Amino acid sequence: MTLGLRPGEHVLAIPTHPDDETLGAGGTIARLTGEGVHVHVLAVTCCHRPRWGTASTTGQRAEEFEAACDVLGVSGRAIAWLDTEQARNVHDHLPELIRLIEDGPELSLNALRPAALLIPADGAVHQEHQLVHRAAYAAARPGGAARHCPRMVLGFDGPEDRAWSAQAGPRTVLVDITTSAPAKDKALNCYSSQLRDPAHPRSLERIRAIDTATGAGIGADRAEVFTPYRMAW
């Protein structure tokens, strides 16, 4: 049982953008779904704005997200804010985002009552990732009977975070993804608009290298690493 999760239990992942779930935890998600765990993904924000790299539209991003989730075996999936004012200015809507993660109608802590919550790790390079970390961390706080409290809360990185992060917490939970790495690679290839050239951290070559280096620490071909914020039994 990966991370002690049993078949039939639920996991909720809160990536900042469509693709972050695959970049940081795709192998773990595929391993969990292969073991009968129901994984749901709520991507927070997606909007069209100028950026480095290949141009893409929000429609293309949404299609890539759906395709990647299918490959990983994800159950429920949604993009919370797609081309909205909230999507363009996440920092102005943190209370709203906290409430959405806590008590949204479908993909939320109270709706799913997940055993585990996967969130962006602290110390992220990107500002929006930091904001979503703060919101998800606040939503997972103890709240008595009024708020579901997942017994496990883990933070996942993006490839840039592993290469350039000054304030990262301890990454001490490792998951062997050797058998599920092909699914991660296939899901990454769904995000053709987001992958970069081989020299960039957000390239298949560099992501595989990160997973391989992480796996070496536990004698596995490839692994993913997480920051533990809550581990309760």
- Which domains can be identified in the chain, with CATH numbers? 7-231 (3.40.50.10320)
SS3 41: strand
pTM for the structure as a whole: 0.94
What is the pLDDT at residue 7? 98
Q: Which residues of the chain have pLDDT under 70?
A: 49-55, 163, 165-169
Q: Of 3, 65, 2, which is closest to residue 34 (Cα–Cα)?
A: 2
Angle 227-228-233 (CA atoms, 0-180°, nearest 5)? Answer: 160
SS3 125: coil
What is the pLDDT at residue 167? 59
8-state DSSP, 5 = P
